[in-house]
Amino acid sequence: MQSSGHRFRDVEHHPLLAENDNYDSSSSEADMAERVWFIRDGCGMVCAIMTWLLVVYADFVVTFVMLLPSKDFWYSVINGVLFNCLAVLALSSHLRTMLTDPIQNRQGEGMISGAVPKGNATKEYMDNLQLKPGEVIYKCPKCCSIKPERAHHCSICKRCIRKMDHHCPWVNNCVGEKNQRFFVLFTMYIALISAHALILCGFQFFSCVRGQWTECSDFSPPVTVILMIFLCLEGFLFLTFTAVMFGTQIHSICNDETEIERLKSEKPTWERRLRWEGMKSVFGGQPSLLWINPFAGFRIRRLLLRAKKGGPEFSV
């Protein structure tokens, strides 16, 4: 016989309980530290590693080819600190997107967000739902799970994902309800460092031409040119791609409609949260600097949660 906690968690999959979904993305982030979600997909893991290597390459060229050889101390320091801070924020957002466990209970709201546990469409589960006559539930034939409202099956994650926008191989995960915020931050910071790298390349090229390639870099002129050309190509491609993705994600959030729902022309059966209400539902709370902080709500809220439960204190 199941405990009341397990029974409540099962009932949270019930689609009829998902209609009044007042979501605060920060309410359960403290639980993320307790789990690690990782998709073992070969293509996704290769793409994720390539993403990190490309960012590291850009950081190497900017730091060692363009900034350190510069005679302008403050130019090097300001641009070096800015670029590296943006790179850290981009990679942190990438990690949060890739490793966020989408199976998150929202206590007291009668609902589970993100991925749906596989194989929960059992007779025991159906009995626990205590369905009324005429109530309809939906079963996914691929993962044998009861599908909540706005859930779609991902063939790579092999799960039904609530509010699934798409599966992105660059982050090796589905972009859904629990990690959309981090994906938006990832695209924003990659676009910013790409634009920054292109601007620095322009200044560096002008400086090298004016100085006849004698003192503009510690590397030889051919090596410097090759490194800068590859960085310009990388920056242009990533800026274009991530800027478009960032725009489509913001549009999707403001219209409370995922890309899959838009492509399938699904009519909304839920109460749509438009514009600022949609933004607040994804990023959590009122607009603040926490919206653009990928570290927000991970360790600090875990400490607060343990403190409220009377758990032992420990430092970060």
Helix (H) or strand (E) holding 217: none
132's tokens: 């009324």
Question: Can you say whether residue 219 is alpha, beta or left, with left for phi > 0 and alpha for psi between -120 and 50 degrees?
Answer: beta
- Rounded CA-CA distance 189/243 in Å is 10
Q: Which of 168, 201, 208, 216 is catalytic?
A: 168
219's tokens: 């590397």
- Rounded CA-CA distance 177/195 in Å is 29
6's tokens: 């397990």
Edge to edge, what strands does the sheet with 151-154 contain?
A: 115-116, 159-162, 151-154
- Rounded CA-CA distance 274/257 in Å is 9
Let me know if 168 is a catalytic residue: yes
- Residue 54 phi, psi dihedral angles, 5° rounding: -65, -40
Strand partners, 138: 147
163's tokens: 């509010």
Catalytic sites, residue numbers = 168
